Chain A
């Protein structure tokens, strides 16, 4: 006669044991997973300051930000005009050139192809700049224009613009 409530209580105890144990195990796993995220010293290097006073029109430099290459190009008038003239409907990832720059002559991009992460060519004067006079990714043939927008090839998105601010006319803080 005592059997029924006993069984219920046991079921309850077993169920709560299993639940508490499962919650505890999940909580125990968190520190391990979390330890694989960037550590504090890595995060502290999240900003880079660049002096751009030496760059001449038409030239580009590459700096490292969070371990990735960042392209800084001082664009020529023609390049700016070319970027502005593009019909947005032709673009795979439509964005106005104005939305991608803070000062017209300075184009700042994360130099990582949005396809599979290669670094596109086009920084050095001798590099192929691709069909649209911007950058060309040799891995799978993506062409970017003078605003860093994807024009041809497998890449789905434009080259991303990193967060940056002009500290003064010649110093840019990336990050």
Chain B
């Protein structure tokens, strides 16, 4: 029993360690949503949404989000209506059988700049700007990777030839990326007086993307603590009951 038990523990912890060790080299950063009780900073998310609108939205869609979702990050219903109404969506057919344009409503999905993937590729030298709805779940190292990428633009080293329409980035696979550096100091004006340096802007937009990928994060962690406490309490009581019960077995 003991040897087998150690073997099982060894194998399981070994695999966890192996998973952990693949994290080498990717610098990690402080995030408010990290940890067991981590939560989103709504002010940062709202700033991040502003960054998305002013910097990213021209090329990157977020098709899985609805405007109504913005109420989760602290916008009021009226504000969300106002934001949505700045976009037009194609609706229809109407009673005459024709498609028509109308302004977006909170129940509409985020409007994409391009009608489809082909148009997006055609406008971006053949590169497809990926949808950002779940981007932090869709890349290894998630938020840390996206943040590093956004601030990872550099002059290419002398021995490296950067392709036409490509840029050098430390963290991109193969170091060449089709997206030009999107964020500079002061490229977005903040209304709340937060210092709008490059790192702060990147950090805010990444926080927004994390929320977009895992909007359930706060509820999930909260419920998780209760679930674990439940099993611990039940386990302890049953363990005591078991000891009593088995004492009679000889």
Interface residues of A (CB under 8 A from B): 6, 9-10, 13-14, 16-17, 20-21, 24, 27, 40-41, 44-45
- CB of A9 within 8 A of CB of B244, answer yes
A residues within 8 A CB of B244?
A: 6, 9-10, 13
B residues 229-250 in Cβ contact with A at 8 Å: 230, 233-234, 237-238, 240-241, 244-245
Q: Once the chains are docked, how many angstroms separate the CA of A31 from the CA of B121?
A: 42
Q: Once the chains are docked, how many angstroms separate the CA of A40 from the CA of B245?
A: 49
Supplied contacts A6-B244, A13-B240, A16-B237, 10 more A-B pairs, CB within 8 Å? A10-B245, A13-B241, A20-B233, A21-B234, A24-B230, A40-B68, A41-B66, A44-B66, A44-B68, A44-B107
Q: Once the chains are docked, how many angstroms separate the CA of A27 from the CA of B230?
A: 10
B residues within 8 A CB of A41?
A: 66, 107
Q: Once the chains are docked, how many angstroms separate the CA of A84 from the CA of B237?
A: 70
Chain A minimum-CB-distance residue to B243: A13
B48 within 8 Å of A (CB atoms): no
B interface residue count range (under 10 / 10 to 19 / 20 to 34 / 35 or more): 10 to 19
B residues within 8 A CB of A45?
A: 107
Q: Once the chains are docked, how many angstroms separate the CA of A24 from the CA of B229?
A: 11
In the complex, number of A-B residue pairs with CB atoms less than 8 Å apart: 31
Q: From B66, B68, B241, give the contact of A17 (CB < 8 A).
A: B241
B residues within 8 A CB of A27?
A: 230
Chain A minimum-CB-distance residue to B234: A20
A20/B237 contact (C-beta < 8 A), A41-B66, A44-B106, A44-B107 known: yes
Chain A proximity mask over B206-250: 1 for CB below 8 Å, otherwise 0: 000000000000000000000000100110011011001100000
B residues within 8 A CB of A9?
A: 244
Task: Tell me how far the C-beta of B153 lies from the nearest C-beta in chain A, rounded to whole angstroms.
Answer: 38
A residues within 8 A CB of B238?
A: 17
Q: From B68, B106, B234, B241, give the contact of A24 (CB < 8 A).
A: B234
A residues within 8 A CB of B66?
A: 41, 44
Chain B minimum-CB-distance residue to A44: B107
Chain A minimum-CB-distance residue to B233: A20
Q: Once the chains are docked, how many angstroms separate the CA of A142 from the CA of B178?
A: 67
Chain A proximity mask over B61-72: 1 for CB below 8 Å, otherwise 0: 000001010000
Chain B minimum-CB-distance residue to A6: B244
A residues within 8 A CB of B106?
A: 44
A residues within 8 A CB of B234?
A: 17, 20-21, 24
